[in-house]
Amino acid sequence: MKKLNFKKLDEISSGNEEFKRKMVVLFKTTSLDALEALQQALAKEDLYEMARIAHRMKPSVVALDLKEMQNDITFLEREGINLDQARQSVESIRLEIYDTILAIDALEWQ
């Protein structure tokens, strides 16, 4: 199972456990909607919309220090990518979201 790293979230929250919990729950509730929107934009071959959605995902991904997903999101935000590259990034994001949600569900403090 994926190991979550809350070091960045600890810095942002100044150790406030309630804030940390809210950020984790927020990621869990919004990431699946964002993923669905990314997949719809990909189906429409709308790279601009994909970049917009990726940009909206960035704060929670950075807060949870999800480096692999950060790389894919940053990639989707760039201009000049092709659809094959976008498909690979969306698939990687999909896998990372599901792995992260499984790890979140395993937390005792949520």
**Global pTM value:** 0.89
- What is the structure's pLDDT at 109? 59
- Domains in the chain (CATH in brackets) are 15-103 (1.20.120)
Task: Tell me whether residue 21 is exposed, middle or buried, using C-beta atoms within 10 angstroms of its C-beta: 0 to 12, 13 to 18, 19 or more.
Answer: middle
Q: What's the chain's length in residues?
A: 110
Q: Is the pLDDT of residue 74 over 90?
A: yes
- What is the structure's pLDDT at 102? 93
Q: Is the pLDDT of residue 108 over 80?
A: no
